[in-house]
């Protein structure tokens, strides 16, 4: 396995040697892709913040972005630590948008055009959002709101990412990999089950009826789990009583369970794995035997000495991050 780091400065392409492992981090939402590397300041090496950078594995481009940070230490002045972000970084910009009758795909393309971002394959999300006023919001927030509206209307989740220099949008169902994480490939894992976070065995909803001046209370609870765990109550005021009972039942169904966290470490690397990727995880975790698709919420790739390993935070079902 060979790695190649390339930096372009004013038309000149440079291939600086790296000292330690190159890392790439991807998250499912809200953060740009990030590459960090320690490179050697060789004679003739000259580059600046804003210069494009590309990282390849066995000749296949994996990451493309721009140098944002350069750092040195007094003890090793000839080593430069660079931090490179992909173009999702520019979605941190704030602005005000008013739009109508656009799909989430169209919203992303509109923002990409305004901020001169390159786009690639973009799946059609289908759902048309009638109108939105987004005042003083980051592009991340505007796009995520459109994707959340689509999820509510269609039940379909979409993942936005930068695919080697091109904004790409895929449905979660298109993010499946024919890859299995098991005892042989997982390396190490951190697993936790808990009822201390996001677990509720009693749901209490309150509706203040202004017409009658009375308070209407809707409760859904699991007596068996209350006997086991004690009362773990979720409380919320609602604006409408029409679906309050159904809402209470739905919330109980969602929260009346243990929550679990799973972080996989030293997993054999695969450059196709990014935030939003679906993998089959087959592990015996003590209290459960897991054999199901889980979603990669965060992944950190480390390339070092011809070795590629991954660290991942997983999500799905009762597994949260």
pLDDT of residue 247: 87
- Sequence-ordered list of residues with C-beta below 8 angstroms from that of 40, at least 6 positions apart, any chain: 16, 17, 18, 19, 78, 79, 80
Q: What is the pLDDT of residues 123-162, one digit of tens each?
A: 999 999 989 999 999 999 999 999 999 998 888 999 999 9
- According to DSSP, residue 183 is labeled T
Q: What percent of the chain has pLDDT over 70?
A: 100
**What pLDDT band is residue 281 in, cutting at 50, 70 and 90?**
very high
Which CB contacts under 8 angstroms, 24+ apart, belong to 10-18? 12/46, 14/44, 14/45, 14/46, 14/47, 16/40, 16/41, 16/42, 16/45, 17/42
C-alpha distances (whole Å) from 176 to each of 260, 278, 292, 295, 310 are 22, 5, 12, 9, 17
- Taking CA atoms, 273 is separated from 101, 177, 178, 208, in Å, by 34, 8, 11, 48
The pairing of beta strand 22-27 with beta strand 34-40? antiparallel
Q: What is the per-residue pLDDT across 174-233, written as a single tens digit (0 to 9) for each?
A: 999 988 998 888 888 898 999 998 899 999 999 988 888 889 899 999 999 999 999 999
């Amino acid at each position: 396995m060979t790695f190649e780091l390339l930096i372009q400065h004013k038309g000149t392409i440079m291939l600086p040697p790296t000292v330690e492992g190159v890392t790439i981090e991807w998250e499912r939402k809200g953060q740009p892709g990030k590459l960090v590397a320690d490179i050697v300041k060789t004679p003739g090496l000259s580059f600046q913040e804003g210069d494009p950078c590309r990282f390849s594995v066995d000749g296949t481009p994996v990451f493309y972005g721009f140098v944002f940070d350069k750092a040195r230490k007094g003890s090793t002045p000839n080593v430069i630590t660079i931090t490179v972000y992909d173009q999702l970084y520019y979605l941190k910009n704030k602005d005000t948008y008013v739009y109508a009758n656009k799909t989430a795909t169209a919203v992303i393309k509109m923002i990409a055009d305004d901020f001169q971002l390159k786009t690639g394959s973009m799946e059609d999300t289908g759902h048309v959002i009638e109108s939105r006023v987004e005042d003083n919001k980051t592009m991340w927030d505007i796009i995520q709101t459109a994707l959340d509206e689509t999820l509510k209307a269609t039940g379909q989740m979409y993942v936005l990412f930068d695919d080697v220099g091109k904004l790409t949008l895929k449905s979660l169902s298109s993010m499946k990999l024919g890859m299995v994480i098991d005892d042989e490939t997982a390396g190490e894992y951190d697993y936790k089950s808990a009822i201390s976070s996001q677990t509720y065995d009693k749901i209490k909803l309150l509706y203040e009826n202004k017409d009658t001046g009375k308070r209407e209370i809707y409760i859904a609870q699991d007596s068996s789990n209350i006997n086991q765990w004690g009362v773990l109550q979720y409380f919320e005021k609602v604006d409408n009583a029409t679906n309050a009972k159904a809402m209470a039942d739905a919330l109980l169904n969602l929260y009346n369970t243990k929550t679990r966290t799973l972080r996989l470490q030293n997993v054999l690397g695969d450059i196709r794995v990014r935030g939003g990727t679906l993998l089959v995880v087959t592990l015996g975790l003590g209290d459960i035997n897991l054999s199901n698709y889980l979603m990669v919420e965060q992944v950190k790739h480390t390339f070092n000495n011809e070795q590629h390993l991954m660290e991942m935070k997983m999500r799905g079902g009762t597994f949260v991050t």
